[in-house]
Amino acid sequence: MSKTKVERIASVEDRIKQLENQRRQLIQKHKADERKARTRRLIQRGAILEGFIPDPADYTEEQIQAFLKEILDTDYARKVLRRMKPSQKDETSSAKPPVTQQDSDTPSPAKRANAQ
């Protein structure tokens, strides 16, 4: 026995509702996974930063932010970050080694002090 047209329409509408619910669930899972990945990245990078700062608990968030802004807001830092950033075409490539002070066009602080 074949279904009537009305029964087939109802069956298709039920399937549409199921697929819409499945789509919503997949979107929610994707968003949750992205949030988890971002949280993990923030924790890992914060831990890396604290590993380089002596007595990190002695500094406020504002002091750390000011420190990073001053350090990273230089031509040298931008050049290093540009070299490390993977190209848009090849996201899987490993990061290039950072620019060393000898590679840089920017003189070291000691050389700048001697030049003055």
Q: What is the pLDDT of residue 3?
A: 82
Every domain of the chain and the residues it spans: 1-71
Q: How does pLDDT run across 7-64, given as a tens digit for each residue?
A: 999 999 999 999 999 999 999 999 999 999 999 999 999 999 999 999 999 999 999 9
pLDDT level of residue 87 (50, 70, 90 thresholds): confident
Whether the pLDDT of residue 92 is over 70: the answer is no
Long-range contacts of 85-94 (CB under 8 A, 24+ apart): none
Could you give the CA distance from residue 96 to residue 83 in angstroms, rounded to a whole number?
A: 6
